[in-house]
Structure 1
Amino acid sequence: MKRNAFFQLVQKKDGVYLKSYPALHGGAPLSMEDIMQYLEQKKIMDVQLGDIAAFVEDAAQQKNAEKKILSEDRLPEKEFPLITIDPKRRFAKIRLYPPSNGGMRISSEEILDRVEQMGIKSGLLPENIKLMLKGRLYCTDVLIARATPPVQGSDAVITYHFDVDKTCKPAMDESGNVDFHQLDMIEKVSEGQLLATLQPADLGTPGTDVMGGELKPIKVKQLFLKHGKNIHLSEDGCEMYSDVPGNVTLVDDTVFVADQYEVPADVGPSTGDIEYDGSVVVKGNVLTGYAIKATGDIMVNGVVEGASLTTDGKIVLKRGIQGKGEATLQAGGDVISNFIESANVTCGGKIMTEAIMHSKVTAEDDIVVKGKRGMIAGGYLKTKTKIEAKTIGSTMGTLTELQVGIDPKIVEQHRFLEKEVEQLTSEREGLMQNVLLLKKRMDTKGKLDDEKMASLKKTGKRIQEIDTRLEENAAEREVLEVELNKKDNGRIIAENIVYPGVKMTISNVSNTIKSEVQHSAFVRDGADIRIRAI
């Protein structure tokens, strides 16, 4: 049986000695820290560190060693248990030290009394105490209490029973021309159709720490079926049904079902602005100065001029937008347009078009400029993922800026959390120094006055608060670092040519093209933007 080395206080006529007993079968050797910890607990303070170090060295070289540490008489020391509790209260352990010669042994009942006095209530292992005492396992950490861990639950899950990823991707013929007449933008539903089902979250079961406190399971994601008009839920809220025939869209986790509103000609003086809770189809044009606002999708067969189109769904413009610097498009989903000129476009999905000229374009997903022209010339384009075109920039040096990569908000939040760690760590170090000073004074004088005792408790509480916040901070940084450490921080692809003067920013790295580049992809590589052939 493996046994750690241990030491014993031995009373002799001329003073107090330390005596060593060797480790057996690979047990741990004596440590100076262990001896110092015991002497501190026993208020034996006037011992030279050099004597302790020499004793430990002698013990390592021979089976038994002795070293005189005091020249005074002391009462015999009883067998002594040192009980410690993990800071997170996940376990408690005991370290037993032998009695001095003439000292008494301690009983398991006495140890259990001390355990109770320390507030240890749950997960006790009394059989370990009995085995330790029976085997005289000195200078060895023995587990005496173990927390009951929580049972982790699981996130709620929503399953949608319709196509939530309608792309409105237009067909393309062999010549590279985009056919905006063949679009699949409407997801049809019938009355009574099941739209979604919810599997509720399992919250899990709390555990108990060794002090009897609750150990909460990791929080799970709670979800609910969210919907607009023309929809109802089952009594238990776990099934969603359509009340009417129409088309269904999913916007920000909310399901909408609506009939389609159709404008037979232009949106202009004859119609006024249009606001509709559903999808809108315009057979003609949308004239300058007019607006369409919808919760479903917007499809325009003609041209959009300097108008405003706002929707929670998709926008499809079969003949494009000639915005005259006044047009604004805001879509929760994709934007599909023959071309985009002199307009401000923002969407929560991707953008697909044949040309973007002198426009400000922002998308959550890819910006794809293909078809016969496939041209980006002038303006500012921004997305987190990918910008792809045939030609970027122009021979005239038109100012063209492209930005892809990580959301700057993520970088800013990560920097804030790192600074918070530095501040909290520095504060904790200062508080720990104060705690050590107060404990040393208490060991020396036997007690503290009321003011200093209150200060010690207040400092301990603040240290616990800091430790909790540091754990939360680490978890938050871990989530952000997954995003920051992704190798694919966005890319820019030019099938044909990129002209000089085009400015590219990938994540937080920028570069301005100095000479023509052909058939290339641009990616971030550390602090540089690299060009790769395609």
Structure 2
Amino acid sequence: MVEKSNEQQSSPEQLPSALDLGFVFQLHEDTNELWISFDPIDTSRELTKEQFQRLVEEAGYTTDNFPLLAPNVSILLGSVRRRESKDICISIPVDGRAEVFFSPNKLLAGMVIYGAEGRGKLVDRPMIDQAIKKARITHGLLEDALETLASEDLNRSLRNSGQVYCSVIAYGEALENGVDGHLELLIEDASDRRFQEDQHGTIDFLDRGEFPFIEENTPLMRRHPPTKGKPGCSVLGKTLRAKDGKDINFKLKDASVKTADDDENLLIAAGSGLPVISDKGVHLEQVLKIDKVDIETGHIRYRGSVEIKGDVRDGMQVIATGDIKIGGVVDAAFIKAGGHIECLGGVIGHTGSEYMTDKAALVAECSIQARFAHEALLQAKQEIIIGNQVMHSKLVAGTFIQVQGKGQVVGGSMQAVDLLEMNSSGAVSYTETHLEVGECAQLQETYTQLLSQLNRLEEQKYQLIELARKVRKAGAEELAKKKPQLIKAKEALQLRSAHLNKELTETEQQLKRYYASKIQINRRAYPGSQITVAGHQYEVNKELDKATFVLKEDKVQIQQ
């Protein structure tokens, strides 16, 4: 008897029938919606959600076919509790659906399958095909993936699960841009006149050692033609146009080189000489080798490169279109090169010389490297590198100046665009030493003028808009008459605006470079060091250890 009692207690509570509780179910065959009407009667009672679920299933409406709408069930049970009549839908079937998505470049299409709910229609192949048609996918469809998405087993497993299934259904074909033509250097040793930047964006001076020399018919450079681009296709069937590679041709500077008779893409030496790399080509220069330059040799003016084993004496001139390499010291002489200048000795001038030809003056189209500079003038469009010290000299470089070794800079001035680097500046005995980077007064003036021109252009645009309004008010006849002139004026303003904005952007980029310039003193800056960064000045009035001067918030500030 005890066991039977326990079994009865553990079994679910017996519920009256739906009719006994005041419920009437109604299935709308056209929509498969399940409705219920409640009219309170004497036997009506409150129900929990679980009890109501059992009541629905006992009425023959299983959860699989008729999942209940929880909010509506809560409303209904509230009415039962208050014994209020209620007519409400408790289950609505939801058809499964297929949605298509694309990658941003339209080279990939995918599909998401949402499972049906209740007696909703399962996703099938016609539904998938319709979604594909609506999305206009015509290329690269994956039939196996589509069959999987349309399979009955998959869609039955998704029914009432609240889950989705996603798969790629189509792949496009990516375009392949052509490869630009390029030039391959076939010789290892050559004088390189091109700008060479390191990983930090600074110009790197290359010590080329001895001048290389090649013989006639030596292969110098090979041209690799560009390749054609391969068009692609999106999953929508749209052709994706690819760019062909840009062509590049040899730039023959003179008759010292030529293309090979049997290969138009091969550049060879037409004679013997020093190979020099330039933009889009190589040319040969003759190398003049002499022991020294003094009153016995006279001035040297040479179309090519010059190698001097010894010194260049006072008052002498060495002018060459190529590189100049000096093994000794340059006294108060004038050296000018169309390429690089390398002085393994130092440069020594004389104080108070009136003419440049009487000073120790080195002028290079590319870079200058010397052991030291004393009362000298050095000008280079690229970098200047000094091996030890600079005394009472003037150095001007288009990129940076670096003083290595002891790194002493005493007196005179140094000016560069990007960087000055040394160990110490000035001297204990207060010696004015001017250090300047990023001089950009003219560039700032240009920037201001461009802004002013753009402002005036905006005023002209406004005037043109007002004129167009007046013409429209004057009537269709007047508009037809003036329209070509208005369009022409508008196009002219747009063209001018585009040109000015391009110039403004380029100027801004240049100014950013100048504003980022710095002076780096790795050991000590003595009083008397006059610092200028992008036109902003700072005077060192006490000894500073290891200081880097930068421009920040329109002031020269020190980073230590």
Which TM bucket (shorter chain)? Answer: 0.5 to 0.7
User: Is 1:514 aligned with 2:541?
Assistant: yes
Residue 233 of structure 1 corresponds to which residue in structure 2? 259
What is the CA-CA distance between 1:467 and the residue it aligns to? Answer: 0.9
User: Is 1:481 aligned with 2:508?
Assistant: yes
SS at match of 2:477: coil
What is the CA-CA distance between 1:310 and the residue it aligns to? Answer: 0.9
2:293 is matched with which residue: 260, 263, 267? 267
Residue 311 of structure 2 corresponds to which residue in structure 1? 285
Looking at structure 2, the residues matched to 502 and 253 of structure 1 have their Cα atoms a distance apart, in angstroms, of 44
SS at match of 2:319: strand
1:196 is matched with which residue: 213, 218, 221? 221
For residue 332 of structure 1, what is the amino acid of its counterpart? E
**CA distance 1:248–1:308, change in 2 (3 Å):** same
Looking at structure 2, the residues matched to 221 and 360 of structure 1 have their Cα atoms a distance apart, in angstroms, of 44
**CA distance 1:427–1:225, change in 2 (3 Å):** same
Identity %: 23
Residue 477 of structure 2 corresponds to which residue in structure 1? 447
Looking at structure 1, the residues matched to 554 and 214 of structure 2 have their Cα atoms a distance apart, in angstroms, of 50
SS at match of 1:345: strand
Residue 469 of structure 2 corresponds to which residue in structure 1? 436
- Is the CA contact 2:519–2:550 (under 8 Å) kept in the aligned structure 1? yes
SS at match of 1:424: helix
For residue 367 of structure 1, what is the amino acid of its counterpart? I
Residue 296 of structure 1 corresponds to which residue in structure 2? 322
Count, aligned residues: 351
Q: CA offsets per residue over residues 92-115 of structure 1, 9 Å max, x none?
A: xxxxxxxxxxxxxxxxxxxxxxxx
Looking at structure 2, the residues matched to 320 and 300 of structure 1 have their Cα atoms a distance apart, in angstroms, of 10
Residue range with higher mean Cα deviation, 477-486 or 506-515: 477-486
2:337 is matched with which residue: 311, 314, 317? 311
Looking at structure 1, the residues matched to 345 and 552 of structure 2 have their Cα atoms a distance apart, in angstroms, of 39
For residue 301 of structure 1, what is the amino acid of its counterpart? G
2:392 is matched with which residue: 341, 354, 358? 358
User: Is 1:525 aligned with 2:559?
Assistant: no
For residue 511 of structure 2, what is the amino acid of its counterpart? L
- Is the CA contact 2:440–2:514 (under 8 Å) kept in the aligned structure 1? no
Looking at structure 2, the residues matched to 410 and 164 of structure 1 have their Cα atoms a distance apart, in angstroms, of 36
Residue 76 of structure 1 corresponds to which residue in structure 2? none
SS at match of 2:428: coil
**CA distance 1:463–1:350, change in 2 (3 Å):** same
Pairwise mapping of residues 12-27 of structure 1 onto structure 2 (< 5 A)?
none
Q: RMSD of aligned C-alpha atoms?
A: 3.6
1:401 is matched with which residue: 429, 434, 439? 434
Q: 5+ unaligned residues in a row in structure 2: which ranges? A: 1-175, 194-206, 230-242, 354-358
TM-score (norm 1): 0.58
For residue 481 of structure 1, what is the amino acid of its counterpart? E
User: Is 1:345 aligned with 2:378?
Assistant: yes
TM-score (norm 2): 0.55
**CA distance 1:485–1:500, change in 2 (3 Å):** same
**CA distance 1:486–1:340, change in 2 (3 Å):** closer
Q: 5+ unaligned residues in a row in structure 1: which ranges? A: 1-150, 168-181, 205-216
Pairwise mapping of residues 76-225 of structure 1 onto structure 2 (< 5 A)?
157-161=182-186, 162=188, 184=209, 186-198=211-223, 224-225=250-251
What is the CA-CA distance between 1:407 and the residue it aligns to? Answer: 5.3
- Is the CA contact 1:406–1:490 (under 8 Å) kept in the aligned structure 2? no
What is the CA-CA distance between 1:406 and the residue it aligns to? Answer: 6.6
SS at match of 1:447: helix
For residue 477 of structure 2, what is the amino acid of its counterpart? K
- Is the CA contact 1:201–1:223 (under 8 Å) kept in the aligned structure 2? no
Residue 491 of structure 1 corresponds to which residue in structure 2? 518
Looking at structure 1, the residues matched to 557 and 318 of structure 2 have their Cα atoms a distance apart, in angstroms, of 43
- Is the CA contact 1:406–1:489 (under 8 Å) kept in the aligned structure 2? no
- Is the CA contact 2:181–2:225 (under 8 Å) kept in the aligned structure 1? yes
What is the CA-CA distance between 1:311 and the residue it aligns to? Answer: 0.8
Residue 323 of structure 1 corresponds to which residue in structure 2? 349
Looking at structure 1, the residues matched to 361 and 311 of structure 2 have their Cα atoms a distance apart, in angstroms, of 15
For residue 395 of structure 2, what is the amino acid of its counterpart? V
What is the CA-CA distance between 1:503 and the residue it aligns to? Answer: 1.7
What is the CA-CA distance between 1:241 and the residue it aligns to? Answer: 2.1
Looking at structure 1, the residues matched to 539 and 209 of structure 2 have their Cα atoms a distance apart, in angstroms, of 39
What is the CA-CA distance between 1:454 and the residue it aligns to? Answer: 5.1
**CA distance 1:487–1:297, change in 2 (3 Å):** closer
What is the CA-CA distance between 1:255 and the residue it aligns to? Answer: 3.5
What is the CA-CA distance between 1:246 and the residue it aligns to? Answer: 3.5
- Is the CA contact 2:518–2:548 (under 8 Å) kept in the aligned structure 1? yes
Looking at structure 1, the residues matched to 228 and 457 of structure 2 have their Cα atoms a distance apart, in angstroms, of 32
Looking at structure 2, the residues matched to 531 and 158 of structure 1 have their Cα atoms a distance apart, in angstroms, of 45
**CA distance 1:478–1:510, change in 2 (3 Å):** same
For residue 507 of structure 1, what is the amino acid of its counterpart? A
What is the CA-CA distance between 1:219 and the residue it aligns to? Answer: 13
**CA distance 1:415–1:293, change in 2 (3 Å):** same
- Is the CA contact 2:249–2:280 (under 8 Å) kept in the aligned structure 1? no
Pairwise mapping of residues 355-394 of structure 1 onto structure 2 (< 5 A)?
355-371=389-405, 373-394=406-427
What is the CA-CA distance between 1:399 and the residue it aligns to? Answer: 2.3
Q: CA offsets per residue over residues 211-267 of structure 1, 9 Å max, x none?
A: xxxxxx999897652434522235786543223443323356664422321222x31
Looking at structure 2, the residues matched to 305 and 512 of structure 1 have their Cα atoms a distance apart, in angstroms, of 33
1:419 is matched with which residue: 452, 457, 467? 452
Looking at structure 1, the residues matched to 430 and 330 of structure 2 have their Cα atoms a distance apart, in angstroms, of 28
What is the CA-CA distance between 1:359 and the residue it aligns to? Answer: 1.7
**CA distance 1:410–1:152, change in 2 (3 Å):** farther
Looking at structure 1, the residues matched to 218 and 487 of structure 2 have their Cα atoms a distance apart, in angstroms, of 60
User: Is 1:470 aligned with 2:497?
Assistant: yes
What is the CA-CA distance between 1:528 and the residue it aligns to? Answer: 1.9
Residue 48 of structure 1 corresponds to which residue in structure 2? none
What is the CA-CA distance between 1:500 and the residue it aligns to? Answer: 1.4
For residue 505 of structure 2, what is the amino acid of its counterpart? E
What is the CA-CA distance between 1:331 and the residue it aligns to? Answer: 1.1
Looking at structure 1, the residues matched to 227 and 499 of structure 2 have their Cα atoms a distance apart, in angstroms, of 22
- Is the CA contact 1:355–1:369 (under 8 Å) kept in the aligned structure 2? yes
What is the CA-CA distance between 1:397 and the residue it aligns to? Answer: 2.5
Looking at structure 2, the residues matched to 433 and 219 of structure 1 have their Cα atoms a distance apart, in angstroms, of 47
Residue 258 of structure 1 corresponds to which residue in structure 2? 285
Looking at structure 1, the residues matched to 277 and 520 of structure 2 have their Cα atoms a distance apart, in angstroms, of 30
- Is the CA contact 2:314–2:333 (under 8 Å) kept in the aligned structure 1? yes
What is the CA-CA distance between 1:389 and the residue it aligns to? Answer: 0.9
Q: CA offsets per residue over residues 248-301 of structure 1, 9 Å max, x none?
A: 23356664422321222x312211111122221223321222211112221222
**CA distance 1:219–1:233, change in 2 (3 Å):** closer
What is the CA-CA distance between 1:199 and the residue it aligns to? Answer: 5.3
Looking at structure 2, the residues matched to 153 and 483 of structure 1 have their Cα atoms a distance apart, in angstroms, of 32
**CA distance 1:500–1:251, change in 2 (3 Å):** farther
- Is the CA contact 1:203–1:220 (under 8 Å) kept in the aligned structure 2? no
Looking at structure 1, the residues matched to 398 and 228 of structure 2 have their Cα atoms a distance apart, in angstroms, of 32
**CA distance 1:279–1:242, change in 2 (3 Å):** same
- Is the CA contact 1:349–1:366 (under 8 Å) kept in the aligned structure 2? yes
Looking at structure 1, the residues matched to 505 and 491 of structure 2 have their Cα atoms a distance apart, in angstroms, of 21
What is the CA-CA distance between 1:426 and the residue it aligns to? Answer: 0.7
